[in-house]
Structure 1
Amino acid sequence: MELPDIVVAVREGSHNEQLRYALRSWTAHLPHRHVWIVGYRPWWAAGARHIPTHQRGLPAYANTTTAMRAACEHPDVSDPFLWANDDFFVMAPQPTPFPVLHRGPVGEVFAQYGTRSSAYVAAMRKTHAFLVGLGHEDPTSFELHVPSVSSVGP
């Protein structure tokens, strides 16, 4: 079995200590083939593969969406791959293949938020309604701060 690549979207700016520590933790504890930095690659991360993207003036969510699309469309990125943020630190050895982690049904996640009202919860409810409208009666929440298994295929 081929190891997956790790793909991480990185904002502009070479001062990114959290990325430095994340890369070290992935090397030590997360079996992978290559690390792909999408967006800005600091000079000190020259060993990682790179997919440059335009970031100037875009909000954070647009940068992330652009990075995900670039990774999915790049012919050399593994399928599946592990999608990570630059502040995901893996503190213990992980199994191969990496498990698909989730929080369970979105409806149960809503219950955890209770009556809290925020733009974040409102967006979650809107996404839930959209998925239900597409025929996914009980969508799963992948709202965790951990690497996620992502795939280009169906």
Structure 2
Amino acid sequence: MATKKKTEKDELTKVDTTHADVNDGMAAPEQETLSEMEKVNATAQDHITVVIPYCREFAQGRELLYALRSWQENVRFGINVVVIGDREAWFSEEITFIEHQRVSDNAQVDTLAKLRIAVASPEVTGYFIWSNDDIYVMNPVALPHIALPKVSGKLVPMRFKGLYAENMKQTAMLLEKNGLPCLNYETHTPVLFDKERLTAMFERFPELEKGGYLFTSVYYNSHPYPTQPVYLDWKTDQVLLPVVSQSPDENKVVDILSRKVFMNNTVSGYSSWLEKFLDKCFPVSSDFEN
């Protein structure tokens, strides 16, 4: 396996940035959490793994290609990339590819199966970053940008429809049954996982294997040393811009991104405009492409 060991760059990104201070107003973390962050930093001195579950059937355009370009350009620590799922013809040897056939039409069931593969893989570091093919790193980030937990309020199933709403409902019921908080950590941003804590989660909640649960919310709500999360609101936070429109005002997008570190797109937000915009931001091929 070829490990991508990335060194710090001096260039600025295509979008001029004002660095986000996502810790403003945060409560001081407990000493135990500080010790954990020290362990994370020690792991990342060499590299830390970015794991991306990938299903070609549901991919739109070249999302994954631009996502990987954004990781190479804007992370300020060493990474290696593991893709679990389907292979694209353009993958280079810098990607560790683990084939995995989709096991369910329920996305949460399928991604949980891929998460278990990540936990078992020796190519994935003990602490690792879990991301998606439609999440882009738009400005330079350090590991704390990702390690800091983020929420979008509480788990409120009635705000959603279909299978996702059902998954959220049973996730909330599981957490309530165990006397745990019910915050919604499903923010479509990269998150930091610990293999040991994931294994403990699987052991504590065997129900996870029986159906679709929002496992990121289970993981963070059951964390033994919780910290105050960042509450996301795209109009005011310095973290995330979700693209939901087919043709947004590009000048406004560029202005907003000057204060953000991540961008994602919904299914409805993918368009020819978005692909052209991503190509402007990340025109140079990454080491992850042939």
Tell me by how many angstroms 1:104 deviates.
6.0
Does 1:17 pair with 2:62?
Answer: yes
Counterpart amino acid of residue 2 in structure 1: T
Report SS of the residue matched to 1:36.
strand
Report SS of the residue matched to 2:113.
helix
Partner residue in 1 for 2:134? 87
Counterpart amino acid of residue 36 in structure 1: V
Does 1:130 pair with 2:174?
Answer: yes
Is contact 1:102-1:140 (8 Å) kept? no
Is contact 1:7-1:83 (8 Å) kept? yes
Identical residues among aligned pairs (%): 24
Q: Give the 5 Å matches for 1:2-151.
A: 2-3=43-44, 4-12=48-56, 16-30=61-75, 31-46=77-92, 47-55=94-102, 58-59=104-105, 61=107, 62-97=109-144, 98-103=146-151, 106=154, 109-110=155-156, 116=159, 118-119=161-162, 120-136=164-180, 138-151=181-194
Aligned equivalents of 2:106 and 2:78: distance in 1?
26
Inter-CA distance 20–127: structure 2 relative to 1 (3 Å threshold): same
Is contact 2:74-2:141 (8 Å) kept? yes
Counterpart amino acid of residue 53 in structure 1: H
Aligned equivalents of 2:159 and 2:60: distance in 1?
35
Report SS of the residue matched to 1:81.
strand
Q: Which runs of 5+ in 1 are unaligned?
A: none
Q: Please tell me the root mean square deviation across aligned C-alpha atoms, in Å.
A: 2.5
Q: Which of the two has higher C-alpha Rg?
A: 2
TM-score, with length taken from structure 1: 0.81
Deviations, residues 2-40 of structure 1 (Å, cap 9, x unaligned): 322100011136985000000000111123420000011
Report SS of the residue matched to 2:43.
coil
Aligned equivalents of 2:106 and 2:72: distance in 1?
26
Inter-CA distance 24–71: structure 2 relative to 1 (3 Å threshold): same
- Matched pairs, number: 147
Of 78-87 and 45-54, more deviation after overlay is shown by 45-54
Is contact 1:29-1:94 (8 Å) kept? yes
